[in-house]
């Protein structure tokens, strides 16, 4: 069994992480082209060496509001189901590994029934100075690209 590792980053004052195996690369802030009529969590498109990549604002999906200024943040490019997807983050963190950087999970991964109420965080780990919420990347991206139905609150 391979050790679990996460790419950590900051969003709206919280520490989050995604599976390191799903991370393609980490970038400095890049110009993002707005996309009219896109779902609210889609910040736009990014030209990544000639490939057009959708840019997701995880703060919108996590209902923490869009960050007003991310010129000092970063971008984490991850492997999505249909290709690369860029995540806007407030600050890039370190690689965190289970057992070396983290204690046992404070909140273990939820079972399938519990994930309907809290599906975006799979586990929470206690770090030296804060908690690390590990995101379910597939669920986060599915929510980001979902269009809200008219008249139905999201």
For 115-145, write each residue's pLDDT tens digit.
444 479 998 888 777 899 999 999 999 999 9
Q: Which residues contact 70 (CB under 8 A, 6 or more apart)?
A: 29, 88, 89, 90
Tell me the CA distances in angstroms from 128 to 87, 125, 131, one per residue in order: 25, 10, 8
Distance from chain centroid for Cα 37:
22
What DSSP string runs through 88-121? EESEEEEEEEBTTTB-SEEEPPP-TTGGGTS-SE
Give me the mean pLDDT over the 65-94 stretch: 87
Sheet holding 131-135, edge to edge: 91-97, 5-11, 14-19, 131-135, 121-126, 105-107
Look at residue 137 and give its three-state secondary structure.
helix
- From the list 58, 50, 47, 48, the residue with the least C-alpha distance to 12 is 58
Domains of the chain (ranges, CATH numbers): 5-145 (2.40.50.180)
DSSP 8-state secondary structure symbol assigned to residue 42: E
Give me the mean pLDDT over the 99-107 stretch: 55
pTM beyond 0.95: the answer is no
Give me the mean pLDDT over the 85-96 stretch: 94
Residue 89 pairs in a beta bridge with 74
- From the list 89, 81, 60, the residue with the least C-alpha distance to 154 is 60
């Amino acid at each position: 069994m391979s050790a679990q590792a996460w790419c950590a980053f900051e969003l709206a004052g919280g520490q989050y992480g995604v599976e390191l195996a799903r991370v393609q690369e980490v970038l400095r802030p890049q110009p993002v082209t707005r996309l009219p009529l896109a779902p609210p969590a889609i910040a736009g498109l990014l030209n990544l060496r000639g490939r057009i990549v959708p840019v997701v604002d995880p703060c919108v999906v996590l209902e923490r509001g869009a960050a007003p200024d991310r010129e000092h943040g970063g971008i984490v490019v991850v492997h999505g189901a249909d290709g690369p997807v860029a995540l806007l983050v407030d600050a890039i963190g370190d690689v965190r590994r289970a057992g070396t950087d983290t204690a046992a999970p404070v909140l273990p991964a939820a079972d399938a029934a519990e994930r309907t109420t809290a599906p975006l965080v799979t586990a929470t780990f206690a770090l030296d100075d804060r908690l690390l919420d590990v995101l379910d990347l597939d669920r986060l991206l599915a929510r980001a690209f979902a269009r809200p139905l008219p008249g139905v609150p999201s």
